[in-house]
Structure 1
Amino acid sequence: MLKQRVITAVILAPIVVGGLFLLPPMGFAVFTGALLAIAGWEWANLSGFEGGLQRWAFALVLVVLMAVFQTLPVVPLLGALAVFWVLVAAMVAAYPAGTGVWHPRPVRLILGILALVGAWLALNHLRAGDLALGHTGNNLLLILYTFLVVWGADIGAYFAGRAFGRRKLAPAVSPGKTWAGVWGGLAVVAALALAVAWWLDLASIAVIQFVLASVLTALASVLGDLFESMLKRHRGIKDSSQLLPGHGGILDRIDSLLVAIPVLASCFTLLGWLTPVQ
């Protein structure tokens, strides 16, 4: 298993890094859209569709919707996404109660459309929006920072959970997650945010805003992980697919980012640090 994980990582890392950080905005949009369409193929399975034709049809629907929604104003879409993720948080908190509402396969497909298309729109807003933050306007650094927040939250949760984990966060959804892990992850992200704010030479009030936005993004990443775990548990599967040997599926790698990216994009937009391209 470890050998498989290493081989997969070695092969995929250059592709992902190149697609995310070396392509121009249009190439970036196509590359990320393709990744999320494949994730949609996996989501169709989470929704109860096992047939290959049905799953690829859903992936195609996602591509069409990406093309349609990318022509719309991004700010209202981010607002709608915020409402959606609040509702998802309520679903996760209530599980296993309330499954009758989202158990129907079409409803789960709609959830996938909102999560995947929404993340793609927010990610491209981070890539192409006008960024004014401290002494940098480099959108690629902003995307890298989003990833660092998610990774920092995950690493902090792992070590704090192992050392201090007692009280379970959501035992019905993910028995391994603890409140100590959440607090440990938030502490790591807060420290990261303070270091980056110092590097950006932000004013005092901006430092507070930057740290709060980063911590909120870290919390959102936890919700993304729990959301996919809930769907997999309901579906009775361990991984979203076996596309990435040793790693599961694409959704298993990006579930936290599906929420973290829109939340960070929304926070920075509300604070006036990221504005849509006119």
Structure 2
Amino acid sequence: MLKQRVITALILLPIALGGFFLLDGAVFAAFIGLVVTLGAWEWARLAGIETQPGRIAYAALVAALVLLLYLARAGLPWLAGAVLLLAMLWWLAAIALVIGYPASSRCWSAVPVRLAIGLLILLPAWQGLVLFKEWPLANWLIVAVMVLVWAADIGAYFAGRTFGRRKLAPRVSPGKSWEGLYGGLAFSLLIVVGVGLCRGWAPVDFVKGLLGAALVVLLSVVGDLAESMFKRQAGVKDSSNLLPGHGGVLDRIDSLTAAIPVFAVLLWSQGWGTL
């Protein structure tokens, strides 16, 4: 299993890094659209669609909506903001659903509801990344959100293994602990402090940076837990086996699907870029 994970990672890493940082414009949007479309194919299974034609049809729908969002960018500039704000509402609702699981499943157990939730998860993540490419320091924004999420994962792993005692959401993801959450958050914020010191941030910028990073990290955890909740309801361990040793695409990007739109909205609220 370890050998398989390493081989898959070595193949995917240069593809992912090249796609994120070397591509621009329509090609970048198409690259991210492909990732989102694969995620949609996986999500259809979590939503209760077992047949391949049905899963492919849902993936095609998501691909078509991605294309429409891209084409509508010039004529309907408010649409990107609407997509991101809908994502914010969904992730706030997801907190309550995760806390209330399994009782909360009656609110979203219907297949059409779960398919609609998939749109609220996947489309805003695509939209946020496309916006980052149009804003100042484009690639660094992508690096920033990824580092925050990855640092939180690493910190949570080691803190959870060392100090983990109290379960964070035992009915959703028994392996996660409150101590792991605190460790992941602390590690991410430590990185923010280091960046702020290197860049000479003013005190007010430190406060904004730390609060914003904390919000991004905490909601990235909700993204992870939400996917775990849907997988548990569907009775599956991984979203698919597209990535040998790593599960599926959704298993790799679940935290980012929440972190990216939140990060985009926070940057926009501070005048970083336009929607």
Q: TM-score, normalised by structure 2?
A: 0.95
Partner of 2:230 in structure 1?
Answer: 231
Unaligned runs of 5+ in 2: none
- Structure 2 CA distance for aligned equivalents of residues 155 and 180 of structure 1: 13
Partner of 1:135 in structure 2?
Answer: none
The answer to whether structure 1 residue 173 and structure 2 residue 172 are counterparts is: yes
What is the aligned-residue identity percentage?
Answer: 47
Deviation at 1:96, TM superposition (A): 0.5
Deviations 1:6-55 (A, max 9, x none): 11111111111111110112211110001110110000010111111111
Partner of 1:187 in structure 2?
Answer: 186
- Structure 2 CA distance for aligned equivalents of residues 213 and 75 of structure 1: 18
Unaligned runs of 5+ in 1: 132-137
Partner of 1:125 in structure 2?
Answer: 131
Provide the aligned C-alpha RMSD in A: 1.1
- Residue-pair matches, total: 269
Partner of 1:134 in structure 2?
Answer: none
Deviations 1:135-162 (A, max 9, x none): xxx2101101110000000011111111
The answer to whether structure 1 residue 106 and structure 2 residue 105 are counterparts is: no
The answer to whether structure 1 residue 2 and structure 2 residue 14 are counterparts is: no
Cα 1:274–1:194, aligned 2, differ >3 Å: closer, same or farther?
farther
Partner of 1:274 in structure 2?
Answer: 273
Deviations 1:87-118 (A, max 9, x none): 11111111001211101111110000111011
Q: TM-score, normalised by structure 1?
A: 0.94
Deviation at 1:200, TM superposition (A): 2.9
Partner of 2:12 in structure 1?
Answer: 12
- Structure 2 CA distance for aligned equivalents of residues 24 and 123 of structure 1: 11
- Structure 1 CA distance for aligned equivalents of residues 156 and 248 of structure 2: 22
Conserved in 1, the CA contact under 8 Å of 2:83 and 2:123?
no
Q: Secondary structure at the match of 1:274?
A: coil
Q: Which aligned segments of 4 or more residues in structure 1 are displaced greater than 6 angstroms?
A: none
The amino acid across from 2:109 in the alignment is H
Deviation at 1:77, TM superposition (A): 2.7
Partner of 2:154 in structure 1?
Answer: 155
Deviations 1:54-98 (A, max 9, x none): 111101100111222342422233222211111111111110012
